């Protein structure tokens, strides 16, 4: 049964605030009398845990209201203090509040740190023994008998420091804690009175998008760049920055060839924001619109559909406690519709529909709790009127060799985990090992492959080279994958040449 966008809404439980802080129940969506320090401080969740569960000595670095002040930012201090984000997925059977779970996890992190720190006494002359990697910390916390298994389903750590976190002092690390639950409801369709849906929408964070952010591999820091931008849009809105004096449109445009993960990145970003902004919004909605579908099927009524679609969205946006993320796929369809209408090849309603969409985007983006994500496969065909509205215009291309190797390694690791392939610890060793060398060869053989094609390659290798077998030796499988990659490349080149004008009628 199809439901409207408004009928599907369900409140998402949020982490309670300590008594010393303003509770969510009493906090108004807009606090005009709030200072910049108070608002920006709410982005530093770690301070909340320090107030509740650490001695007064540890609070000495905090401001008078118990949280670090935005205005007191010191670049020298921040460089010395690594920041670690801790995303805590609540176990479905847990009866504890999000705040209680956050406190338990923080205490467990402190205890685990001390346990790992003891090994430095066993290796007094080994400097690396005084460091702990985030994966190591995560494994220790989620291991059987850790005491968190009945309360926490997953604890994920993220930091800009790839080498590890210094263990010399627990309080030298800036911990950011986010406690959340996943929504299991499937996406709902909004047909706007037609048989074919004009949009789909879901509540985040969603079980369907779990792990999506981590599965995406890029050569640059594009994921962190987009995350930083999105969080700052919320901060600026909450600070009531005058957008006539400092302009930002809250629009992101990802463009590049098909199969590079643009749409997946948008969905992953929306999921990430629903976790990172858990303290600021009672619910997060992702609304997906396929502009190609919208403008190719309903030219006669598309203008009305656009208006109706945004009206239903605006009803949710007006509830300032919710964040609404609009995802528009294949935005280049706007250009095609506009140009076709101007040239007389399509009815004038197409042009009205395009203009209606641009007008509605301009209207909806004025709300502080809206973010617009868009994608395009044809960079040169994007409407300039829309390009001007995008704050970030990010090209997403095919992965480099290093990224391809990382993608293939994650796929191989999954097959080992599921028993399809035999275990091979040498994959983690330097390039001198046979498995690692073959993995590098596979990455070289997949030159110009898209991320989508890379993710398909292991399955095709298994299905066509090793049908019906499990526990396949990793080295044999990697050799088969190199062969399959070359065959895929040959097939693609043959298909391309067959489409050449000189080879066909």
19 occurs within a structural domain = no
Which of 185, 226, 234, 197 lies closest to 375, judged by CA? 226
In a domain, 46, yes or no: no
Judgement on whether residues 373 and 475 belong to the same structural domain of the protein: no
Based on the structure, what is the number of domains in the chain? 3
Are both 299 and 150 inside the same structural domain? Answer: no
Domain assignment of residue 329, yes or no? yes
> What would the pLDDT profile of 189-248 be if each residue is shown by its tens digit?
766 555 556 678 899 999 999 999 999 999 889 999 999 999 999 889 888 899 889 989
Rounded CA separation 329/239 (Å): 31
- Taking phi over 0 as left and psi of -120 to 50 as alpha, with beta for the rest, 267 belongs to alpha
The answer to whether residue 9 is domain-embedded is no
Residue 258 and residue 291 share a domain:
yes
Q: Half-sphere exposure (CA, 13 Å, Cβ side) for 106?
A: 25
Residue 480 burial (C-beta neighbours within 10 Å; 0-12, 13-18, 19+)? buried
For the cut 90, the answer to whether the pLDDT of residue 410 exceeds it is yes
Is the Cβ–Cβ distance between 340 and 350 less than 8 Å? Answer: yes
Which of 380, 395, 410 is at the close of a domain? 395
Query: Does residue 141 surpass a pLDDT of 70?
Result: yes
The residue-averaged pLDDT of 315-334 equals 88
Q: Where is mean pLDDT largest: 26-40, 380-394, 410-424? A: 410-424
pLDDT at 14 over 70: no
Peptide bond into 27 cis (omega under 30): no
Could you tell me if 307 and 417 lie in one domain?
no
Q: How confident is the model at residue 148 (pLDDT cuts 50, 70, 90)?
A: confident
Q: Residue 486 — φ and ψ, nearest 5°?
A: -65, -40
Counting Cβ atoms within 10 Å, is residue 301 exposed (0-12), middle (13-18) or buried (19+)? middle
Question: Looking at the structure, do residues 244 and 258 belong to the same domain, yes or no?
Answer: yes
Residue 199 sits in the same domain as residue 216: yes
Write out pLDDT tens, residues 382-393: 777 788 889 999
Asked if pLDDT for residue 281 goes beyond 70, the answer is yes
Last residue of a domain, one of 148, 164, 180: 180
- pLDDT at residue 176, as a whole number: 92
Indicate if 206 and 354 belong to the same structural domain.
Answer: yes
The closest of 85, 130, 137, 87 to 111, measured between CA atoms, is: 137
Instruction: Tell me the pairing of strands 283-290 and 199-204.
Output: antiparallel
What are the angstrom distances between the C-alpha of 378 and each of 10, 32, 266, 275, 445?
37, 43, 17, 31, 26
State the average pLDDT for the chain: 77
- Say how far apart CA 101 and CA 91 lie, in whole Å: 10
Specify whether 304 is located in the same domain as 451.
Answer: no
Tell me what pLDDT residue 38 has. Answer: 46
Q: Report if residue 206 sits inside a domain.
A: yes
Q: Express each pLDDT in 43-99 by its tens digit.
A: 443 333 332 222 333 333 322 233 333 334 555 555 567 788 999 999 998 999 989
More confident position, 220 or 100: 100
- The answer to whether residue 447 is domain-embedded is yes
Identify whether residues 336 and 361 lie together within a single domain.
Answer: yes
Distances (CA, A) of 334 to 199, 292, 303, 309, 455: 16, 8, 12, 16, 30
Alpha carbon distance 74, 76 (integer Å): 6
Cα separation, 100 vs 333, in Å, equals 48
CATH assignment at residue 321: 3.40.50.300
Q: Residue 32: helix, strand or coil by DSSP?
A: coil
Which residues does 175 contact at the CB level (< 8 Å), separation at least 6?
46, 49, 84, 86, 106, 109
Tell which of 372, 395, 418 closes a domain: 395
**pLDDT score at 295:** 64
Residue 505 has pLDDT above 70, yes or no: no
Residues 96 and 195 in one domain: no
Question: Domain of 158?
Answer: 83-121+128-180
**Residue 276's pLDDT band (cuts 50, 70, 90):** very high
**Same-domain check for residues 162 and 201:** no
What's the rounded Cα separation, in Å, for the pair 472 and 481?
A: 12
Tell me: do 156 and 193 sit in the same domain.
no
Query: In this structure, is residue 342 part of a structural domain?
Result: yes
Mean pLDDT of 258-276: 96
Minimal CA–CA distance to 222: which of 249, 247, 255? 255
Residue 164 inside a domain? The answer is yes
The most confident of the ranges 55-69, 311-325, 468-482 is: 468-482
């Amino acid at each position: 049964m199809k439901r409207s966008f408004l009928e599907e809404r369900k409140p998402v439980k949020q982490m309670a605030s300590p008594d010393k802080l303003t509770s969510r129940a009493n906090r108004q969506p807009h606090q005009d009398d709030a200072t910049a320090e108070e608002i920006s401080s709410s982005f530093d969740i770690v301070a909340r845990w320090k107030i509740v569960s650490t001695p007064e000595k540890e609070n000495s670095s905090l401001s008078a209201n118990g949280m670090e002040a935005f205005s007191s930012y010191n670049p020298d201090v921040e460089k010395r203090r690594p920041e670690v984000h801790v995303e805590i997925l609540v176990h479905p059977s847990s009866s504890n509040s999000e705040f209680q779970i956050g406190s338990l996890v923080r205490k467990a992190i402190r205890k685990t740190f001390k346990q790992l720190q003891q090994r430095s006494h066993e290796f007094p002359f080994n400097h690396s023994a005084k460091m702990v990697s985030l994966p190591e910390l995560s494994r220790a916390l989620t291991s059987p008998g850790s005491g968190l298994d009945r309360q926490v389903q997953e604890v994920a750590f993220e930091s800009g420091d790839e080498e590890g976190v210094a263990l010399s002092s627990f309080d030298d690390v800036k911990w950011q804690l986010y406690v959340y639950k996943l929504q299991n409801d499937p996406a709902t369709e909004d047909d706007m009175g037609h048989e074919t849906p004009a949009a789909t929408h879901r509540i985040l964070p969603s079980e369907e998008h779990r792990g999506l952010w981590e599965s995406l591999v890029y050569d640059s820091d594009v994921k962190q760049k987009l995350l930083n931008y999105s969080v700052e849009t919320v901060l600026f809105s909450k600070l009531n920055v005058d957008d006539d004096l400092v302009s930002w449109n809250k629009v992101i445009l990802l463009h590049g060839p098909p199969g590079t993960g643009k749409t997946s990145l948008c969905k992953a970003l929306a999921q990430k924001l629903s976790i990172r902004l858990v303290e600021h919004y009672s619910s997060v909605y992702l609304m997906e619109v396929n502009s190609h579908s919208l403008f190719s099927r309903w030219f006669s009524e598309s203008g009305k559909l656009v208006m109706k679609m945004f009206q239903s969205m605006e009803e949710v946006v007006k509830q300032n406690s919710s964040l609404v993320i609009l995802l528009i796929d294949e935005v280049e369809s706007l250009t095609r519709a506009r140009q076709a209408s101007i040239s007389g090849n399509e009815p004038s309603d197409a042009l009205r529909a395009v203009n209606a969409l641009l007008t509605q985007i301009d209207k909806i983006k004025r709300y502080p709790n809206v973010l617009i994500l868009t994608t395009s496969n044809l960079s040169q065909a994007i409407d300039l009127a829309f390009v001007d509205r995008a704050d970030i215009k990010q090209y997403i291309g095919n992965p480099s060799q290093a990224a391809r190797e990382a993608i293939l390694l994650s796929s191989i690791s999954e097959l080992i985990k599921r028993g399809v392939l035999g275990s091979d610890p040498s994959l983690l060793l330097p390039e001198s090992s046979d498995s690692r060398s073959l993995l590098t060869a596979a990455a070289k053989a997949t030159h110009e492959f898209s991320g989508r094609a890379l993710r398909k390659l292991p399955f095709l290798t298994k299905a066509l080279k090793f049908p019906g077998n499990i526990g396949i030796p990793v080295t044999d499988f990697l050799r088969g994958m190199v062969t399959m990659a070359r065959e895929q490349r040959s097939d693609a080149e043959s298909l391309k040449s067959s489409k050449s004008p000189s080879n066909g009628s």
